[in-house]
Chain A
Amino acid sequence: MTSDIRHKKMLTIDAKNVDFYYSEFHALKNINIEVEKNKVVALIGPSGCGKSTFLRLLNRMNDLIDGTRMTGSVLIEGKDIYAPNIHVDELRKEVGMVFQKPNPFPKSIFENVAYGLRVNGIKDKTFIEERVIESIKSAALWNEVKDKLNKSAFALSGGQQQRLCIARALAISPKVLLMDEPASALDPISTSKIEELIYELKKDYTIMIVTHNMQQASRVSDKTAYFYLGEMIEYDDTIKIFTNPTELSTQNYITGRFG
């Protein structure tokens, strides 16, 4: 099942000619993006340019909104995720998501992380327990919560809650991790913890992260895509985007001249 049996050059994410509409509103215009395995891609751009919309296309979260429409194709590990034989719940198991605001369930810390396992039909207690611990450790949260796994997740700080949400997403071992401004609601210390974490996670996952923080984008990502008014203006290596962007609009945004 792991992709090493497959073709080495297989792209993890491959979006082609993607257009997206909220009813009449044309929110994404002809987006093309390719992401290789174990890379971190940052999406940047001014508010309302469609970053979240694009991210939510990758795990078909936009299906939940009435009146939306998409054209073009999105392949994840070579599979067209908008093909009719795809079941969204199976897709979302492969493509995990961390939201802007931490959104733990009103359950215990343990149950939060175990949730994804349980809904996917895993009943083996020891397996669940091992997996929960492993995930919390991967999310760099273990030392802080190991004594209170049965306490409510709401008792954690915002930064801890966000790492819990990351642990929750990791528990079902997705191939791709989508993060929509995962640190925007957090203080600087929690933010740097999340950034370190992303650096660690890169070894096992392909990550796409939306951020408004230029330093963050340049610190954590390998590649950066700049969105503006529903269009992807530029997509290149992060170093290139931040030192020598091709487009003027990109440069203006990065240097803070607008946005």
Chain B
Amino acid sequence: MTNPLVEAVDASRRFSRKLDYAEKIANLFGAGLEEKTVHAVDGVNLTVYPGEVVGLVGESGCGKSTLGRIMAGIMPTSDGEVRWQGKSLAALQGDEKRAMRLSAQMIFQDPMSTLNPRKRVIDLIGEAPKVHGIVKGREVRDYVASLTERVGLDASYLDRYPHQFSGGQRQRIGIARALAVKPKLLVCDESVAALDVSIQAQILNLFMDLKREFGLTYLFISHDLGVVKHICDRVVVMYLGRVVESATPDELFDNPKHPYTQALIRELPSVTDRRRVFTPIKGEIPSPLHPPPGCHFHPRCPKAFDRCRVERPVLKKNGPGHISACHLNDLSATETKNATAETAI
């Protein structure tokens, strides 16, 4: 097997959460909110091989973006480490570090938030490759023009500012900008979430074409299982900072093991498979400030039993390329049935 491109090894990231402005105001009115520590990413192991498209799914606040950032090397871990081509990011120095930084690029949901509104497209895309000596000063314009053409933007747009573009066009600018430094890994964080279905299809096709053309590797963060199923080679499901299941899309959809994954798949709204009845799982996503003990999912899990409330389940192999973290893995089929029946009573 080839060597991994990037790996998270027991990686954790904690934030001590300060009160925001609105919460401070709420406190003036007696809300009594306090500062707390959030385990945004809690002991995650994730290996991404060159050329793979790995999807990262899970509910809002479960730590997808944080994991994406630490794997892209733009945010340090609190514990554990991230390895780039086998080397710990913390150990990278000088040129090696710079090269890594360029090799991993992030593409966000709202490209406006990362595009400087006072810069023209030519500079937004052309600056980094010029600074890093990827292209010579007088060749920048041609280089940028070839990139914008590649992502489906007319070269006549080079002298415009970002606000003069639609959401889909701005996303193309963001992609061209990432490509300009010849990356190996693209971390796409909800990159198509804000787009209408037709524009979303255009951008997803572009991602897939670029993968073939430039041999790119993707970590594709999305809350949309339909999108992830379509384009990913492997899907990783997170819940409250932890990986709870990972498998190929076909295996995950046909044979989900974790009760949370099962709920996600069941509740996915779909046009082709119309369903008039909703059977939602109960309960709210718990606050990451006070994650439930044991299995984080137990307060919402229809199959929870005593052990789930006290012991954290570890990831175990369910089959080739399929792992999940659920205590039901340790029970035989009949025991599983009984455990489920007990809670149903």
Asked if chains A and B come from one complex, the reply is no
Interface of A toward B, CB cutoff 8 Å: none
Interface of B toward A, CB cutoff 8 Å: none
